[in-house]
Amino acid sequence: MTTRRASIPNASNIRREALDNGLIILVYENPAVQSVNLMGSLHAGGIYEAPEQSGLSSLAAGALMTGTASRDFDAIHGALEDIGAELSLRGHRHKVGFSGKALAEDLPTLIDVANDALRNPVFPAEHIERLRGERLTWLQYSSFDTRYRAAKAMREALYPACHPYHYSTYGSEDSISNITVADLEAFHHRHYGPRGMILVIVGAVDAEAAIELAGAAFGGWRAADQPAVLSVEAPGDRDNQQRHSITVPGKTQSDISLGIIGPARAADDFLPAQLANSILGEFGMMGRIGKSVREDKGLAYYAYSRLGGGHGPEPWTASAGVNPENVDRAITAILEEIERLATELVSDDDLADNQSYFTGRMPLRLESNEGIASHIHSMESFGLGLDFLLDYDGLIRRITRDQILAAARRYLNAKDMVIAVAGPPHDDGAH
Amino acid sequence: MPNLTHHTLPNGLTILLREAHSAPVISFWLAYRVGSRNEPTGRTGISHWVEHMMFKGTEQFPAGLLDREIDRAGGQWNAFTSMDATKYFETLPADKIDIAMRAEADRMVNAIFDPDETESERTVIISERQGAENQPTFWLQEGVRGSAFRVHGYHHEIIGDETDLRAMTRDDLYQHYRAHYCPANAAVIAVGAFDTDDMLARIERLYGAIPASNTPDLFVRAEPAQQGERRINVERPGKTAFLELSHHAPAAAHEDWLKLKVLDAVLSGSSGASDNKTSRLYQALVKTEIAAGVGAWLTPTIDPYLYSILVTLREGRAPAEAETVLLAEIERLQTNGISDDELRKARKQTRAAFAYSTESVTEQAYWLAQSFILGEVDWFDNYADRLMRVTADDVLDVARRYLVARQRVVGVLQPIDAQEETTSA
C-alpha cells in the first residue's frame, strides 16, 4: 500500500511553484521513461470571443506557431521536428490548451519554443490565409459528416443563440472567412498572459531543474490588462423535447445525437453524475445503452453516453450510429434507458461495479507521462487539490445509490432531450 | 530492447514475455495469424466478424461477463482485425491479470457462436461498414486497393463486402474460427509487472493443455506484377476533393522496407514523431495552398502492400495540380536523393518516436505481437538500430526502383453536388 500511494501523484511528490506573475508550474519526475511531456492551459478560449467571430480563439491558437518575432514558420517547426519533438496548441471552450513532448534531453528546446509561440506571435498574413483555407476545407468536409452534423444540430438547439455554447469553437465558414489579422493580434494581446496559466512538466527530468528552466523562460512575462476569468451559466430551463432531422446526401448510415445540460466539473454532484453516466452508457462496453441498442437489439455498431464535465454547463449526451430504418427504435431504446436511470434506483451491483471501475482504472491512466500530466493539470485547473488522487478511492466509495438517482433526476429528463439525426432520408415525423 | 523471453510450447504456441516494472500493470495479448489477407471471394470480412463473435462468450465466460469483470478491475480490453492478423488484448492492474489469461485460453477453443447472436451481430457489422461508407475517403481507399490488388487478399477492405456480410452463415464463421484459432497459429504476449518464470509457468498451465493441431493452410494468392499505371475515379456528394497516389511496396521483412521508411520520413515526415511541417510534401503542397493536408502511410505487412500518399485538396484546386507536384517531388528525390541533414533528422525522429511508443506496456505488447505476425519476433526491437544503418544511397536506390509509374495507382475522389434538407419538430 505504501508503494502504491508513493507512486500516485500527490502534494508530496509534485513540485508546485507559483511565480509572482501568476503562472503555476507543476513538475512530476517519472524516471521510468526517456521522454518528457509538457501540458498547460490559459484562459483564452471560445467564451471570450463575440458570436460573429466564433472560431477566433481557435484560429489564434492555431496561428501561434506560424511565426514569432524571432522565428519564421520553418524555424519554429524545424526547431521541433529536427529533434522529433511535438507541440500543439488548441482553442477549447473556456481555455487554450497546449501539449508537447520530446526526448528528456530536449526539454529546454520544447520550453523555449512554447514560450516563444505563446508570448511573441506575429500572425504573418500569408500564413493566416493559408491556415484560414485549411480551416474552411475542414468545415466543408465536416458539413458532409453525419456525426458532426448531428452533434452540431443538437448543440445549437440545446443552447440558444445568446449562449456561448451555441457556437462551435472551430467557428463557421462565415465567421472564419471574416476574421482579420488585426482581430487575432487584438485577441492575443488582450487574453494571453501568465495569470491563471498552468504549466505541467512530467518525465525523466529533475524537478528543481525543470522549475528553474520554466521559471527563467516564463517568469518575465507580464500582461497587466488580462481580463477577469469568465464563468458561464446554464441556459434557462426548457420543457419540451425537440427533434431535428438533417438529410445529408450520399450517406448509408444515420447518426443520432441526444443532449441535455449536464453538470460542470465543479458541481457538488459531479462525481455521482459521472457514475450515473457510466451506468447509462459506458461501463461494460457502453453501459445500459450499449447493452440495449447494440447487444440486445443489434441496431448499431456504436451507442454510448458522455458527460462533459468541464468548466461550465457542458452537455450530457448520448450517441449512436444506425441504419436509417432503425433510427426510431434506437432513439426509443436510448430514451427508455435515460428514463429508467432518472426514475429508478440503480442496483447494489451496478453501484459496486462502477465504483470498482472508477477506482481500478487509475493505474492504467497513470501509466504514461501524458496520463500523469493530464491528471495533474485537471487537479490544478478545477481546484481539486493535489491530494485528490490520494482521496479518490474514498470519494468514489462513499457515493450512494440515492445520490446517483438524485443526480440523474436533476439533469436527465427524457422529455426535455434535444434529439438530432443526420443521415440519408427517413420518415421520422419531424416536419 | 533487453529482456525478451521467447518460448514455444509443445502444442506450437509461441510465448513472448517482457518484464517491465515501470507501472503496476500488465498487458496480455493473443495474436492469431489470420486476417482479411486470407479471405477468398464470398468470405470477405469473415476474420473481422469472427473477432466480434469472440466477444459473445463461452460457457465458462458468458457474454457480458468479461465486459463487467474487466471494467470492474479498471482494465481495458479490445481486439483488432488487420489485413494480416487478429489480435486480442487486455491491460489490467498486475494483480488482476489472471482473468484475462484464463479467458483468452478458453475462447481460443470454446467460443459458442450462438446462431441468434450471429444474426444480431450481422446487423452490427453491416452498421459498422455503413458508418465507414459515410466517409467519402472510405470509397477512395476501397477503390485504390481494389485496383492495386487483383488477385491477392489485400484487394478488399477488412470489414468485407456487404454482399458477403449478408450471405455468410453461422457455420461459415465457426468453420473459419476452428480452422485458424489454434496454438500453432497464435502467440501469447505479455508485457508488464510480473516475474517471468512465474508468468511462463502460469501460461504453460493454462495453454499447454490445448490440443496441438496442424498449422492451418492459410489462403494466400500471390499478386502478379503490375504492368502499368492504373487510375481510378470515385465520385461522392461533398465539397472536398482528394488525391491518393499509391505505389507497390515490399513486405516489412524485406530489406528495402526500412529504406522506404526513411524515404517516407523525408517526404511526409510520417515517422510517428510529429506532423512535420518541414517535410518535403507539406512544403510543396500545403504551404503553397494547393492542399489543406497531406499524409502518407507505409504499413508493415506480411506480403508486399502499398506506400500511399493522400492529399486533401483545398477548395478550387484540382487533383491534377497536386499530382503534378507530387510527381515532381518524386522525380527530385530520384535525381538528387536526400541530404545529410534530412537523414540526420529522420534518425532523431525515429529515436524519439521509439521512446514515445515504449512508454506504455500496451504499446510495447502491441509491437511484440505485430513482430510475431511479421515472422520476426525481434522486428520491432531491432527497428531503430536497423533504421540507423540506412544510408542516403539506399534511399536514392529505393526511390528509383519503387516510385515508378508501372507500380503506381492513382485515385481521385471528385466531389459532386447534392441537395440536403433540414426539418425540425
* Residues A298, B121: C-beta atoms closer than 8 Å: yes
Nearest CA in chain B to A72: B278
Question: pLDDT tens across A186-243, in order?
Answer: 999 999 999 999 999 999 999 999 999 999 999 999 998 899 999 999 998 777 889 9
Question: Which regions of chain A are under pLDDT 50?
Answer: 1-5, 429-431
- Cell numbers at A355, concatenated: 465504483
Q: Which of B74, B46, B259, B117 is nearest to A365 (CA)?
A: B74
CA distance A287 to A298: 15
Buried b (16+ CB within 10 A) or exposed e, A186-222: ebbeebbbbbbbbbbbbbbbebeebbebbeebbbebe
Are B86 and B131 found together in one domain?
yes
Are B240 and B116 found together in one domain?
no
To the nearest whole Å, the CA of A213 is away from the closest chain B CA by: 21
Q: What are phi and psi for residue B75, nearest 5 degrees?
A: -95, 175
pLDDT range class, residue B215, cuts 50, 70, 90: confident
Q: Which amino acid is present at A362?
A: M
Mean pLDDT, chain B, whole residue set:
94
Residue B338 pLDDT exceeds 80: yes
To the nearest whole Å, the CA of A224 is away from the closest chain B CA by: 34
Q: Which of B326, B347, B147 is nearest to B231 (CA)?
A: B147
CB B26 within 8 A of CB B190: yes
Residue B176 pLDDT exceeds 50: yes
CATH label of the domain that carries residue B237:
3.30.830.10
For chain B, the straight-line distance linking the first and the last C-alpha, in angstroms and rounded, comes to 61
Nearest CA in chain B to A37: B356
Question: pLDDT tens across B278-320, in order?
Answer: 999 999 999 999 999 999 999 999 999 999 999 999 999 999 9
* Residues B127, A248: C-beta atoms closer than 8 Å: no
**Can you give the pLDDT at residue B304?**
98
State the SS3 of chain A: CHHHHHHCCCCCCCEEEECCCCCEEEEEECCCCCEEEEEEEECCCHHHCCHHHCCHHHHHHHHHHHEECCCEHHHHHHHHHCCCCEEEEEECCCCEEEEEEEEHHHHHHHHHHHHHHHHCECCCHHHHHHHHHHHHHHHHHHCCCHHHHHHHHHHHHHCCCCCHHHCCCCCCHHHHHHCCHHHHHHHHHHHCCCCCCEEEEEECCCHHHHHHHHHHHHCCCCCCCCCCCCCCCCCCCCCCCEEEEEECCCCCCEEEEEEEECCCCCCCCHHHHHHHHHHHHCHHHHHHHHHHHHHHCCCEEEEEEEECCCCCCCEEEEEEEECHHHHHHHHHHHHHHHHHHHHCCCCHHHHHHHHHHHHHCHHHHCCCHHHHHHHHHHHHHCCCCCCHHHHHHHHHHCCCHHHHHHHHHHHCCHHHCEEEEEECCCCCCCC
**Structural domains in chain A, sorted by start:** 13-218 (3.30.830.10), 242-423 (3.30.830.10)
Are B235 and B182 found together in one domain?
no
Cα–Cα distances in angstroms (integers) from residue B122 to residues A111, A294, B142, in the given order: 51, 11, 21
CA distance A237 to A261: 9
Q: ipTM for the complex?
A: 0.90
Are B197 and B268 found together in one domain?
no
Q: Which of A313, A338, A334, A47 is nearest to A158 (CA)?
A: A313
Are B395 and B284 found together in one domain?
yes
Q: Which residues of chain B make contact with A154, given a CB cutoff of 8 A? A: none
* Residues B240, A322: C-beta atoms closer than 8 Å: no
Residue B194 covered by a domain:
yes
CA distance A289 to A279: 9
Q: What are phi and psi for residue B310, nearest 5 degrees?
A: -115, 125
CA atoms within 13 A on the CB side of A46: 24
Are B201 and B244 found together in one domain?
no
* Residues B127, A253: C-beta atoms closer than 8 Å: yes
> Where among B175, B207, B239 does a domain terminate?
B207
Are B46 and B125 found together in one domain?
yes
Compute the C-alpha angle B262/B268/B273, nearest 5°. 75
Q: Which residues of chain A make contact with B349, given a CB cutoff of 8 A? A: 81, 84
Residue B215 covered by a domain:
no
**Can you give the pLDDT at residue A238?**
74
**Can you give the pLDDT at residue A171?**
96
Provide the whole-model pTM: 0.93
Residue B148 covered by a domain:
yes
To the nearest whole Å, the CA of B307 is away from the closest chain A CA by: 22
Are B119 and B236 found together in one domain?
no
| Antiparallel, parallel or unpaired: β A300-307 and B14-19 | unpaired
Q: Which residues of chain B make contact with A327, given a CB cutoff of 8 A? A: none
CA distance A113 to A218: 11
Residues across chain A: 431
Instruction: Give the total number of structural domains in chain B.
Output: 2
For chain A, the straight-line distance linking the first and the last C-alpha, in angstroms and rounded, comes to 61
Residue B274 pLDDT exceeds 70: no
Residue B223 covered by a domain:
no
Nearest CA in chain A to B355: A34
Rounded to 10°, the helix A107-119/A73-81 angle is 160
Are B332 and B287 found together in one domain?
yes
Are B234 and B203 found together in one domain?
no
Residue B18 covered by a domain:
yes
Are B248 and B133 found together in one domain?
no
CA distance A377 to A388: 12
Compute the C-alpha angle B233/B238/B242, nearest 5°. 45
CA distance B181 to A172: 50
**Can you give the pLDDT at residue A163?**
96
When CB atoms are compared, the residue of B55, B71, B286 closest to A357 is B71
When CB atoms are compared, the residue of A84, A246, A247 closest to B349 is A84
Residue B423 covered by a domain:
no
CA distance A370 to A357: 21
Residue B302 covered by a domain:
yes
Residue B424 covered by a domain:
no
Q: Which residues of chain A make contact with B313, given a CB cutoff of 8 A? A: 137
* Residues A302, B131: C-beta atoms closer than 8 Å: yes
Count of C-beta atoms within a 10 Å radius of residue B11: 16
Q: Which residues of chain B make contact with A246, given a CB cutoff of 8 A? A: 420-422
* Residues B91, A283: C-beta atoms closer than 8 Å: no
When CB atoms are compared, the residue of A138, A144, A299 closest to B237 is A144
Range of the domain at B254: 230-416
CB A424 within 8 A of CB A324: yes
* Residues A73, B277: C-beta atoms closer than 8 Å: yes
**Can you give the pLDDT at residue A219?**
97
CA distance B41 to B160: 10
Q: Which residues of chain A make contact with B241, given a CB cutoff of 8 A? A: none
Are B237 and B186 found together in one domain?
no
CB B93 within 8 A of CB B24: yes
Question: pLDDT tens across B138-155, in order?
Answer: 999 999 999 999 999 999
Per-residue pLDDT, averaged over B53-65, amounts to: 94
> Where among B155, B175, B207 does a domain terminate?
B207
Percentage of chain B beyond pLDDT 70 is: 97
Residue B41 pLDDT exceeds 70: yes
**Can you give the pLDDT at residue B358?**
84
